[in-house]
Structure 1
Amino acid sequence: MATRRSARLSALAAAQPNDTAAPILPPPAPASKSRKRKVSIEDKEPSSSSTIEPQLPSTPQKRKVSKKGAPPPATPTPAAAALLSSSAAGAQKKPKPAAVSRLADPNKTNAPLLSPQTSRVVSSSPIKPRDDTEEGVSPSKEPLRNQTKDDITTENILEKACAHLIAVDPRMKPLIDKHPCRIFSPEGLAEQIDPFESLVSSIISQQVSGAAAKSIKGKFVALFDDPSLDQDQDDEDGKDTPPGHPAEDQPSSKRRKRRFPTPSLVLQKDLPTLRTAGLSQRKAEYIHGLASKFASGELSASLLASAPYDELVSKLVAVRGLGLWTVEMFACFALKRMDVFSLGDLGVQRGMAAFVGRDVKKLKNGNGKGNGKDKKWKYMSEGEMKEISERFRPYRSLFMWYMWRVEETDVSSME
């Protein structure tokens, strides 16, 4: 009996290791799986890049890592002003115009303007006082006669303007030294501007990006592809400039070949045709109305060249599609008037606040006094902007340009 029991116990003891080891047997199954994975990887090793690459740039990771585009500037100035002084032939690289010495006036247009219906050049001041003793000398290449050091010319107006800004406020000197302004330089003032083209460009650029505006303008010009546009035309609006007027047209030999359609050609196209360039219905109407103003003589190059600023603004604001801000930018960057200042430009307002030492970041976050309808004046009040800018007359355009530079606003497109 005892022998049978001991035999049973010994058999049980001998079987115990097998029973305990039995649960350990299943692990080989995962080992076999891992072995299969290794085999599959080894077998497909030559093409492993094709199996791994799709998994690495997963869509969620791209969305998390990708950075959003930079927000639009606080002021539309850079995008809008990019086209104001650019010509339709801007795609073709051409040499910069040589500086031409002319009398200048901070309160008048300093850019030579192309008569919209012709290729004649209109200026608010003669290139030089006429001298009947010498003939056959090109007035554009001869220096001003009887010029004194106190005369303001296209060669020294920028220098005089910068000196005035520094004299009013010495804090302007670091800005002026760091950021040379080409717009009012002798070369900048020698650029010929078509006022009709500049105003059409300003309408096109409203509420669209700079790239979109440039594309639409190119399609707009393409609607008028005609060999006759590349040739000088007869003076159809010579009546704009009476004999002896300071804005006397230059000889036809100085005309520039036409690249932008004349107002008369624009009026020949109906609105649906103009819209094929990417214009909205309203913008097509604005451009059509602007063309009729120039074609009828209500607006002309001579008027824009020599009219007082208040008269200029009232004439242009009366045109559908041209608001006060658009007219101010046109007067500054296209007409090259030196005493323009925009109180409604947010970029100027922000720059002025930083210029006088305010923390614009705190003001931006809502710590300013402005609220409700006055919220746009959160950086600085309109009255304070006007009071500060008045000190810089008659060179407020240059002061405004430097206020954009205070906050490193990108104004390279303006040049």
Structure 2
Amino acid sequence: MTLRRSARLGSLPTIKPPLLHSPAPSKATRVQHSAVTKPRKAPAKSKKATPKTTKTQPNSGTSYWSPEPAVTEKQELDNHPSPTNAPILRPQTPPPLDRPVDPHRTNATLITPHGSTVNAYPAHAEDASPSKTGLPRPTATTGTLLEKATAHLIATDPRLAPVIAQHPCPLFSPAGLAEEIDPFNSLVSSIIGQQVSGAAAKSIRNKFLTLFDLPDTVAPDGHRHQKFPTPDQVAKCDIPTLRTAGLSQRKAEYVLGLAEKFASGELGARMLAKATDEELLEKLIAVRGLGKWSVEMFAVFALKRIDVFSTGDLGVQRGCAAFMGRDVSKIKGKGGGKFKYMSEKDMLELSAKFAPYRSLFMWYMWRIEDVDVAVLGG
């Protein structure tokens, strides 16, 4: 999958304001949360579809990949981001419901290069006082965050109630918040996936992993994953070696630069867990190969930050325009401009009232226009 692009779900109805009424989704349209989405199987009587290469939307900076079928040129503006490619370890026991979380901090559990895990807040509420953590007092727990967020969205605009009922968001659910994310793996994979098809990105990533000849790891669900190299291991590589995996000169430089920042301690799981939204954006945009949109998507889908809103995403723009009652098909016909569906000022004004849960609001703006969030990881 490439940046800011989406495949539409043909079977999902377009939700038009002000009613936002839709029939119940069929089994085929239910969103399943996964780190890397498997390609859809073609109907038994139809010919096997040949995946097409998607293009990266201009000004995207970077992209995430997935083996999801590519969109056509006709679907160019049905865009959305995608998840990280890091193996996600799904808990085999019921997810914890009492770990403190906060909209403006990382709510995912992050894996360090040496295999330990890091959370912004400690496991128990009694240990989460500002005097002990140096952070603001958490406003929710892993068991209450999604409930609070959806209640706020509905109270702010009741028209969202039907779409929320139809499409529960697993990203910020207790199970979603229990997933463990390797941020270095995620960011490297996003760079690898820039401007290439899902199949090409997967091939390059596999070749990249073979450069290090590391043993497989076994996830709690029993699945085996090839171990991802540490930043130190990648930083010791030279550009010619990285290019043998199929990386372009520029991508090899990006990956090496990112590894060096992690290896030096400038970037790391602890910093990514506790940084403010502003600090996170500043630190990651400084990395060559990571643009603002890429950082925003990493913050939402990997770090599980719930108050991020991307005005530069065309799918979000179109969803917001449709939500406000505009005929997006006519807007599309006019063409031109980065904010062809809705101005940035109008988008910011609309989203402001949904703070501090704008990531969830954004997720539903993708849904409003039938964007297939299964490939988003949500």
Question: Do they fold alike, i.e. is TM over 0.5?
Answer: yes
Pairwise CA distance, 1:274: 1.1
Answer yes or no: is the 8 Å Cα contact 1:74–1:346 preserved in 2: no
Q: Does 1:108 align with 2:105?
A: yes
Pairwise CA distance, 1:86: 3.3
Answer yes or no: is the 8 Å Cα contact 1:201–1:217 preserved in 2: yes
Q: Does 1:286 align with 2:287?
A: no
- Partner residue, 2:149: 161
- Partner residue, 1:124: 120
For the residues of structure 1 that align with 2:373 and 2:238, how far apart are their CA atoms? 36
3-state DSSP of counterpart to 1:171: helix
Answer yes or no: is the 8 Å Cα contact 1:119–1:257 preserved in 2: no
- Partner residue, 2:176: 188
- Partner residue, 1:333: 301
What is the TM-score when the length of structure 1 is the normalising length?
Answer: 0.66
Q: 1:315 aligns with which of 240, 265, 283?
A: 283
Structure with higher RCO (Cα < 8 A, 6+ apart): 2
- Partner residue, 1:404: 366
For the residues of structure 1 that align with 2:154 and 2:241, how far apart are their CA atoms? 51
Q: Does 1:395 align with 2:363?
A: no
Deviation per CA, 1:108-143: give whole Å up to 9, x if none: 00000011x211101001111469xxxxxxxxxxxx
Mapping of 1:16-95 within 5 angstroms?
70-71=71-72, 73-74=75-76, 78=80, 81-82=82-83, 84=84, 86-87=86-87
- Partner residue, 1:271: 239
Mapping of 1:331-370 within 5 angstroms?
331-366=299-334
Deviation per CA, 1:266-294: give whole Å up to 9, x if none: 11221122112221110010000000000
CA 1:346–1:151 in structure 2 vs 1: closer, same or farther (change >3 Å)?
closer
CA 1:104–1:318 in structure 2 vs 1: closer, same or farther (change >3 Å)?
same
Q: Does 1:203 align with 2:204?
A: no
Answer yes or no: is the 8 Å Cα contact 1:97–1:190 preserved in 2: no
CA 1:344–1:411 in structure 2 vs 1: closer, same or farther (change >3 Å)?
same
Pairwise CA distance, 1:220: 1.4
Q: Output the amino acid matched with 2:124.
A: K
Pairwise CA distance, 1:103: 0.5
CA 1:76–1:193 in structure 2 vs 1: closer, same or farther (change >3 Å)?
farther
- Partner residue, 1:218: 206
Answer yes or no: is the 8 Å Cα contact 1:85–1:334 preserved in 2: no
Q: 1:299 aligns with which of 252, 257, 267?
A: 267
Pairwise CA distance, 1:211: 2.8
Q: Output the amino acid matched with 2:102.
A: D
3-state DSSP of counterpart to 1:339: coil
What is the TM-score when the length of structure 2 is the normalising length?
Answer: 0.72
Q: Output the amino acid matched with 2:344.
A: E
Pairwise CA distance, 1:226: 2.4
Extract structure 1 runs of 4+ deviating beyond 3 A: 72-78, 93-98
Pairwise CA distance, 1:230: 4.9
Max Rg structure: 1
3-state DSSP of counterpart to 2:186: helix
For the residues of structure 2 that align with 1:385 and 1:288, how far apart are their CA atoms? 36
For the residues of structure 2 that align with 1:318 and 1:76, how far apart are their CA atoms? 29
- Partner residue, 1:27: none
Deviation per CA, 1:387-407: give whole Å up to 9, x if none: 000110000000001101111
- Partner residue, 1:9: none
CA 1:392–1:130 in structure 2 vs 1: closer, same or farther (change >3 Å)?
closer
3-state DSSP of counterpart to 1:383: helix
Q: Output the amino acid matched with 2:166.
A: K
For the residues of structure 2 that align with 1:76 and 1:177, how far apart are their CA atoms? 23
CA 1:223–1:353 in structure 2 vs 1: closer, same or farther (change >3 Å)?
same
Runs of 5+ unmatched residues, structure 1: 1-65, 132-149, 232-255
Pairwise CA distance, 1:209: 2.1
RMSD: 2.7
Give aligned-pair identity as a percent: 58
Pairwise CA distance, 1:94: 6.8
For the residues of structure 2 that align with 1:361 and 1:316, how far apart are their CA atoms? 35
For the residues of structure 2 that align with 1:112 and 1:70, how far apart are their CA atoms? 32
- Partner residue, 1:55: none
Bigger helix share: 1
CA 1:77–1:283 in structure 2 vs 1: closer, same or farther (change >3 Å)?
farther
Answer yes or no: is the 8 Å Cα contact 2:261–2:267 preserved in 1: yes
For the residues of structure 1 that align with 2:212 and 2:202, how far apart are their CA atoms? 16
For the residues of structure 2 that align with 1:179 and 1:107, how far apart are their CA atoms? 24
